[in-house]
Amino acid sequence: MKHKPLRDQVLVVTGATSGNGLAITEEAVRRGAAVVAVAREAGALERLQERLGRGAEGGRVAIVVADVADETSAERILATAIDAFGGVDSWVNNAGTGTYGTLEQVPVADHRRIFDVNYFGVLFGSLAAARHFRTRGGGAIVNVGSMLSDRAIVQQGPYSATKHAVQALTDTLRMELEREGANISVTLIKPAAIDTPFPEHARNYMDAPPRLPPPLYHPSVVADAVLFACEHPRRRLYAGGFGPFGSAMSLLAPRITDRMMELIGTRMQQKPGDPGDPARRDNLFEPRADGALRGSQNVVARRMSLALQAQKFPGISIGLAVLAFGTVLTQLSRRRRRWR
């Protein structure tokens, strides 16, 4: 299965006006792709389109004001892409929302809203993309899950549940499309904690301002993973080195991981005295101040993930590991001879 170079592609990106979605959109345009940017806040979309379209080589950006939880939104997005650029080559389901609080604290209406956005939004987008790609001879569906697709975390139960569901949805869709012989790749991106406005956008039921647990990564790490998947079919990619570690710990030592979550999970997700920008607070049902790549809290974010690079180029990574191992063995052998 092969996909076009990114510069020749048209991408749909949902949740395009902040955080990971904004990083994906900016980098895709920088690399020459056309982008259909989707979000709920019209002003943020218009500013994004105007900014990325500046200059002699202005980017090709179309915008759609839509809530992905609306079942009709995916078809409107697709119609805009066809009118503006003739179709879609990669569809990135990135939009997401969440809450902080225990399962009992979060009202059932909020639970349902998170599923409407995080699960059904991905479902509607994936099905629309698959129908369209069949008519074009192929394409890429890239769903942004989370390392919490593998590992639930306290205070984010509904969000974790939706990311588990997105993983099952993504795997099922991949099998169904493979069975019919469709030239459509389906990739799940699993970010670790990324420095986006998510903690400020999430509805908070805790008694302290929320944060994402360190280590944090820059949104460009997720953009790198997503855009690689648009060109190179992959089953999954972890964005951020802590993702594979956390998933492995959950599998190999689930009770120990549970206990660590119970002991320090809440404290690691609270940042007393640093609530971030109040204008961004709580966008669960209505959009709030938007357009920021990173959160406004005082945190440190890594711009590089060696784990992601190793997943992108496994052959090279294995070769380097073998070379390094061979070098160590050679050095040990020389030292032994000298000792003798």
DSSP state of 118: I
DSSP state of 32: T
pLDDT for 5: 97
206 confidence band (pLDDT: 50, 70, 90): very high
DSSP state of 212: P
**Using one digit for the tens of pLDDT, what is the confidence trace for 110-161?**
999 999 999 999 999 999 999 999 999 999 999 999 999 998 999 999 999 9
Cis peptide before 215 (omega within 30 of 0): yes
* Count of CB atoms situated within 10 Å of the CB of 298: 10
- The mean pLDDT of the chain is 92
pLDDT for 329: 57
CA gyration radius, the chain: 21
Inform me whether the pLDDT recorded for 318 exceeds 60: no
Inform me whether the pLDDT recorded for 198 exceeds 90: yes
pLDDT for 110: 98
pLDDT for 59: 86
Give the DSSP per-residue string, 253-304: -HHHHHHHHHHHTTGGGB-TT----GGG---SSS--S---SS-SSS--EES-
Tokens for 119, please give them: 């699960």
Which of 194, 184, 186 has the alpha carbon at shortest distance from 224?
194
Contact criterion met (CB below 8 Å) for 150 and 15: no
pLDDT for 250: 80
Among 27-31, 94-98, 209-213, 242-246, the range scoring the smallest mean pLDDT is 242-246
Cα-based angle 76, 82, 86 (whole degrees, multiple of 5): 170
Determine the longest span between alpha carbons in the chain, in angstroms: 77
- Does the active-site annotation cover 100? no
Inform me whether the pLDDT recorded for 186 exceeds 90: yes
Separation of alpha carbons 25 and 187, rounded Å: 18
User: Which residues does 45 contact at the CB level (< 8 Å), separation at least 6?
Assistant: 16, 17, 37, 39, 63, 64, 65
**Using one digit for the tens of pLDDT, what is the confidence trace for 69-113?**
999 999 999 999 999 999 999 999 999 999 999 999 999 999 999
**Using one digit for the tens of pLDDT, what is the confidence trace for 14-25?**
999 999 999 999
pLDDT for 324: 44
pLDDT for 317: 45
Q: Which of 119, 159, 217, 238 is catalytic?
A: 159
User: Which residues does 94 contact at the CB level (< 8 Å), separation at least 6?
Assistant: 13, 14, 15, 16, 20, 21, 24, 144, 226
217 confidence band (pLDDT: 50, 70, 90): very high
Task: Name the pTM for this structure.
Answer: 0.90
62 confidence band (pLDDT: 50, 70, 90): very high
pLDDT for 247: 81
